[in-house]
Amino acid sequence: LPKLGILGSGSGSNCQSIYDAIQSGSLRAEIAVVMSDNPDAYILERARSWGIPAEVIDCGGFKTRFPEESQASVAARLKQYGVDCVCLAGFMRLVKLPLLKEFPSRILNIHPSLLPAFPGLHAWEQAVNAGAAESGCTVHYVDDGMDTGPILGQARVPVLPGDTPESLHARIQEQEHTLYPAMIARVLETLA
């Protein structure tokens, strides 16, 4: 089975949806390791509860930077686990060359907007503030930019009257949880 390495910084609901898709047989893969830059992230708890290795990424005390040395050591760790495809799932640091070069066209991300609209942080809040009529989520290959890599697939949701950033995010996340496992399955077929 192809091996996934999942990187996240937060609750890990997308990681959960990947795990559930594997359990239900709709995604033929295994999660080899879950890594987080946030030692308190619930995504690590989830991994431990599944008996999957959960590792903390040492970012040298930097709040938002992802230092080159950290990226190189993450790449080495992922290689040790035999990871074929890296899935960013709510990972809040920018991946650059030291990691990218070790997994060419094998790092995916999910972003909570219809890219190229609203890249960056709090995309759901950006959509509400901009008065957008619709938003959604995008799965894309990761490149050197911020949320700029080639797009694999998108799912759309309406922005409803009275939506708050939180209510829109919840609607987007529902779509994320089916889109991401489906796009991962598609990418793994191309690697096979």
Helix (H, G, I), strand (E, B) or coil at 188: helix
Q: Spot the catalytic one: 111, 140, 169, 177.
A: 111
Binding site for ligand GAR (CB under 6 A): 8, 10-14, 43, 89-90, 110-112, 123, 173, 176
Contact (Cβ atoms closer than 8 angstroms) between residue 33 and residue 81: yes
Minimum distance from residue 11 beta carbon to ligand GAR (Å) = 4
Minimum distance from residue 110 beta carbon to ligand GAR (Å) = 5
16/76 Cα distance (integer angstroms): 25
Contact (Cβ atoms closer than 8 angstroms) between residue 159 and residue 135: yes
Helices 165-191 and 123-130, axial angle in degrees (round to 10): 130
The residue with its CB nearest to ligand GAR is 90
Q: In this structure, what are the phi and psi dihedrals at residue 80, rounded to the nearest 5 degrees?
A: -60, -35
Binding site for (6R)-10-formyltetrahydrofolate: residue ranges? 65, 92-95, 109
Please indicate whether residue 140 is annotated as part of the active site.
no
Minimum distance from residue 84 beta carbon to ligand GAR (Å) = 21
State the catalytic residues: 111
